[in-house]
Structure 1
Amino acid sequence: MQLTHEQEAMAAAVEDQWLATALETGPADRAAAEEGVRVSYRLAGLEPPTRIYWFGSPRAAAVAVALLTGVSVPSSSGVSPSSGVLSSSSGPGSADGETLPEWFGGVVAELRRQGWQTGETAGASVRRQVRTEPWAAARAAAAAELGAEGWAQLGSAAGRRSWGLAMDRVAGRLRLRLGEDLIAGLPADLGKAVRSRLLDAIYGQFDGAWLGTFDAAGRLSPQAGSESPQAGPGSLETESESLEAGSGSLETGSGLSQDGSGAGLAGLAAVARQAGWWWAHERVAVLSERPALLARDNVGRLHRGEGAAMEFTDGYGLWAWRGMPIPPELAAELPTLTLDRIQAEENAEIRRVMLEHFGYERYLQEAGARQLGSDETGTLWYLDLPGDEPLVMVEVVNSTPEPDGTSRVYWLRVPPDTRTARAGVAWTFGLTEEEYHPLVQT
């Protein structure tokens, strides 16, 4: 099957809707999300969880999952397992080094508030049954219905942009930073145990990056994605009434609705419309809220000059500069950077963040960069950076004046072996110096 231009346009429109879901912020409709959880279990042939817990961030949810799956709190940590309260004798710098942060005690207390009793466990993870197998079945059905060419064409039309923008640039960065924060913020064994629970996470709203492809497949063909990993009581028809109610229900006629296509994904889609990361276990499901704030730059990377680029309601946040997660203390330091502070930084990636915030032009001037030459395209500057590759940049003046008559200056970082401004400008276009022959210089 080969998609027509109209079908590709439809698929792209579906992707836009799911991309908006993946990047949504604000409180969940918890009732709708919980119903989606129950549908996911039933479609997988499982009994729904007996209890569903909610937390303000994936960090808190991961800790809750660890506690619900048997990870013990160090007795010397200052946290009372029965109450979740930090004892008065605990505090930073305890002799045994096992003191836990205040937010950890808050997670224990929140579990208690929601009804957790000592000895209650979540059971084994059922992520494979709830998420992995339905995805594989839907993919196999869609590929069989659309053919290899049609499936590849659909994936390009309805999934390529959203995967890069939602999973690579947001969810992937969050996962990386969260894992590092858990290791750095908790005692060694406990931090590793909690981080390992990230392997069982279902990405909730960020699954919109691939749900859109199956949604579009179902709209193209009623049979595409119709396979469910379990038959019988897990079929979509038995859940249609519950999915029709509430703001979190799936739209009638969509590729993931009660028309029969994408049946095994209907519950996952309902959760994705409302919640952030979540965990599915035999007896318990743990859900987290979506971010309260999500700041990105003009190309979709996590970015915010002051404050966290991603903020959650319980205080957890991710600081990022043009897509790179950075420590909160660095974010606080950026407005007051000095040349000496940048030069003293040993971490090359962090130093690059500092350089971008400080400004390359200012840094080159203050650090005494050497001019390698100039031509009709611009001026080439060179500066050694200790512990990193040299900083080589082309200073380019826009030939089109601004409304006030001034000409804007741009700085282009180029490979360290660049030796002429023309070669540097050509490199930014993927050309060699000999191939670069612009008709109009803008």
Structure 2
Amino acid sequence: MTATARRSAAAPTLRQSAARETRVLELWHRAEPIRDEWLEAGRSTGPADRATTEHLIAGLYRRQHRRVPVFRWVASPRQALPLLTGLPTHEVLQSWVRDRRPQGTPPVAGDIAAGLARLRGALDDAVEHTDLLAAAVKKPWPVLPPRQALQAGVPLLEVLQRSLHEPLAAGLTWPVRSALSPHRTVPVCWYGQQDATWIGFYDTIRKLGLARFRPHDDAQLDEWAALARAAGWWWPGDDVCVLVERPSQVAPRRVGYRDGTTITW
């Protein structure tokens, strides 16, 4: 093949690549304000909407055919610790999915976790739009600001996930959890507003028209989204659900709560 012929053959590919980059950057431009709303929700310092939170969590219990618990509110995760005795850790929940299961009724936290895993699996199955995926396999992806990452070929899916995970999960939830009780295993909990890490991802691609979820899954995602906008951290027990007010202050490497508790890392 002559040089001219090679250039002619390459031209459509180059044009297609440029068109795809332009399209993905336009999608990111539309995604940013949605992502920013979820970041704001994840860092919210307003009081929790207690009525909405209790209503939605009661619905999760009913979906698992469990009776609605007594709701016990506290001002900080540290205040919650003495109330968590007997609640299951991740190891305990894993024991219920092994071949030799413990006797008795599994913890409600395990049922909620299993239901959420099924939901997220179904949502993941719908995330197949080509604009979310990579044109070629280039892992490990470079760590760059979003626009630069997209121009470098990092898939939009990865950029969206990172843009929520880094500031919320890696930059807030996990450091607070680790600092909360460094010498003991904290029972399984959900993070209310900071579950925006995963909820915001699915909500963003849904609003961009890049995934179409089944009506049942769509409705459940709406419920989790409403819970993230209303709640702080919460620990579900079979009889009592312990809930934490949202923080009063969120700053880099520091979170303050309404009882005066400050957690730094």
Q: What TM-score does the superposition give when structure 2 sets the normalisation length?
A: 0.67
| 1:11 Cα offset (Å) | 3.0
1:127 aligns with 2:109: yes
Question: 8 Å contact 1:140–1:225 — kept in the other structure?
Answer: no
- The equivalent of 2:40 in structure 1 is 20
SS at match of 2:232: coil
Report the CA distance shift for 1:156/1:283 in structure 2 as closer, same or farther (over 3 A).
same
SS at match of 2:260: coil
Q: Which structure has the larger Rg over C-alpha atoms?
A: 1
Distance 1:41 1:154 in 2: 35
1:40 aligns with 2:60: yes
1:201 aligns with 2:221: no
Report the CA distance shift for 1:25/1:213 in structure 2 as closer, same or farther (over 3 A).
same
Q: CA RMSD in A?
A: 2.9
Distance 1:208 1:40 in 2: 18
Question: 8 Å contact 1:138–1:225 — kept in the other structure?
Answer: no
Distance 1:272 1:167 in 2: 14
SS at match of 1:24: coil
Q: 1:167 aligns with which of 169, 176, 181?
A: 169
Distance 1:127 1:212 in 2: 22
1:318 aligns with 2:263: yes
Distance 1:312 1:158 in 2: 29
Question: 8 Å contact 1:137–1:225 — kept in the other structure?
Answer: no
Question: 8 Å contact 2:169–2:194 — kept in the other structure?
Answer: yes
SS at match of 2:73: strand
- The within-5 A match list for 1:98-113 is none
Report the CA distance shift for 1:53/1:151 in structure 2 as closer, same or farther (over 3 A).
farther
Q: What TM-score does the superposition give when structure 1 sets the normalisation length?
A: 0.42
Higher RCO (CA 8 Å, separation ≥ 6 residues): 2
Question: 8 Å contact 2:24–2:131 — kept in the other structure?
Answer: no
- The equivalent of 1:179 in structure 2 is 181
Distance 2:242 2:29 in 1: 37
| 1:129 Cα offset (Å) | 2.7
Distance 1:124 1:220 in 2: 39
| 1:274 Cα offset (Å) | 2.1
Q: Which runs of 5+ in 2 are unaligned?
A: 1-19, 89-104, 134-154
* Identical columns (%): 28
Report the CA distance shift for 1:311/1:130 in structure 2 as closer, same or farther (over 3 A).
same
**Residues 374-408 of structure 1, C-alpha deviations (whole Å, 9 max, x = no match):** xxxxxxxxxxxxxxxxxxxxxxxxxxxxxxxxxxx
Report the CA distance shift for 1:142/1:50 in structure 2 as closer, same or farther (over 3 A).
closer
| 1:165 Cα offset (Å) | 0.6
Q: 1:50 aligns with which of 66, 69, 72?
A: 69
Question: What amino acid is aligned across from residue 53 of structure 1 in structure 2?
Answer: R
Distance 1:29 1:10 in 2: 29
**Residues 203-240 of structure 1, C-alpha deviations (whole Å, 9 max, x = no match):** 111111111111123334597443xxxxxxxxxxxxxx
Q: Which runs of 5+ in 1 are unaligned?
A: 71-122, 184-194, 227-258, 297-301, 303-308, 320-324, 326-442
| 1:32 Cα offset (Å) | 1.2
| 1:124 Cα offset (Å) | 5.6
- The equivalent of 1:158 in structure 2 is 160
- The within-5 A match list for 1:314-393 is 314-319=259-264, 325=265
Distance 2:239 2:213 in 1: 28
Question: 8 Å contact 1:276–1:289 — kept in the other structure?
Answer: yes
| Larger helix percent | 2
Question: 8 Å contact 2:76–2:261 — kept in the other structure?
Answer: yes
Report the CA distance shift for 1:223/1:165 in structure 2 as closer, same or farther (over 3 A).
closer
- The equivalent of 1:94 in structure 2 is none
